[in-house]
Amino acid sequence: MTATRGLEGIVATTSSISSIIDDTLTYVGYNIDDLAEHASFEEVIYLLWHRRLPTKAELDEIKKDLAENAELPKEVLDHFKTYPIKQVHPMAALRTAVSLLGLFDPEADEMTEEANYRKAIRLQAKIPTIVTAFSRIRKGLEPVAPRKDLSFAANFLYMLTGNEPDEIAVEAFNKALVLHADHELNASTFTARVCVATLSDVYSGITSAIGALKGPLHGGANEQVMKMLTEIGSIENVEPYIHNKLNNKEKIMGFGHRVYRKGDPRAKHLRKMSEKLTKLTGEPHWYDMSTKIEEIVTSEKGLPPNVDFYSASVYHSLGIDHDLFTPIFAVSRVSGWLAHILEQYANNRLIRPRAEYTGPGKQQYVPIEQRG
């Protein structure tokens, strides 16, 4: 047996959910460009879970189901108030809250197909409420209850700020949700599938996935991109800052991708939204710095930007706290995680790979009195 570091190039399962072929991302055969321009996030959720786009009646039904399940148990809201707020990252709060939610779901350990679908609805509906409620509680504000008359994207922004968002903000956020919904067998999705392949419950699978997404080499990259932009500060500082990083062989967050060679097809959509939003907010320097960084890194390292790079300035322009960027990734990606969890349950086999042993051999036990 020979190991492959990071399982690069290893095909670990079959799936009918999403594909990355020749640098083209599709959800159930629909090109991401088509979906990003035309689909609502609710349509994408339905597509990932049912492998087809919904009819008008089916779309209305899933919207209704999500709206009716968005509220959190009081115990979860009260639990946030016990956290050491100044040191708790929102991703840690989200991970803990999702695990806690399982304690209040009477169907948590019910493993029928119907029960698992109902749990999927509850989790998809409640994760935005978790993120926004924690964000407000840590600032000493009361959570804003979800509204049943708003779209998924609009409702998130409303619960975050208490104000109904404008049309451009909703368009930008909906587009970001669509682009982040699924991405084949990425680290967090693989983690979720490994977890539930033991026939553990849906809440355990999503908690595991959130733990994997928390890392800066996965979901945490967009937060690090905004940190970099803030450190640079102005367009004049871009060249010396980036060249210093490159000369010291430091990683530039938001560039390159394990499975794309010509570039992440999602990045261009957020690049356009970044340009539009930064102009509207009177802060075009965020976009200008980003394009200058892209120019340098792409020309000198041959690395195009990935989806994380421009999502940072998009979220910043929407007035979202920087440490909420990764939880927002989870708000979207939970739709893909749940699709993969349901697919894993439907045709399950325990995921148990092997390891190439590189330690010593032919050792013999020596009594402790004889050890030097």
Q: Which residues are catalytic?
A: 257, 308
Question: Is-contact 356 1, C-beta < 8 A?
Answer: yes
CA distance 301 to 187: 24
Map tokens 């978790």 to a residue: 130
Give Cβ neighbours of residue 350 (< 8 Å, ≥ 6 apart). 197, 198
Tokens at 157, concatenated:
């922004």
Closest CA relative to residue 119, chosen from 178, 153, 69:
69
Distances (CA, A) of 353 to 13, 184, 328, 349: 12, 19, 31, 12
Cα–Cα distance for residue pair 316/286, rounded to 1 Å: 9
Q: Half-sphere exposure of 189 toward its Cβ, with a 13 Å CA cutoff?
A: 25
Burial 71-102 (b: 16+ CB within 10 A, else e): ebeeebbebbeebeeeeeebbbbbbbbbbbbb
69 and 126 Cβ atoms separated by less than 8 Å: yes
65: tokens are 């189901």
Whether the CB-CB separation of 25 and 18 falls below 8 Å is answered with yes
Long-range (24+ apart) CB contacts under 8 A made by 111-117 are 111/199, 111/201, 111/345, 113/342, 113/345, 113/346, 116/202, 116/341, 116/342, 116/345, 117/49, 117/342
Block residue for tokens 């990003």: 36
**Which residue do the tokens 């799936």 mark?**
15
**Tokens representing residue 362 in the block:** 């032919």
Q: What is the token pair recorded at 344?
A: 């894993």
Report d(CA 265, CA 267) in Å as an integer.
6
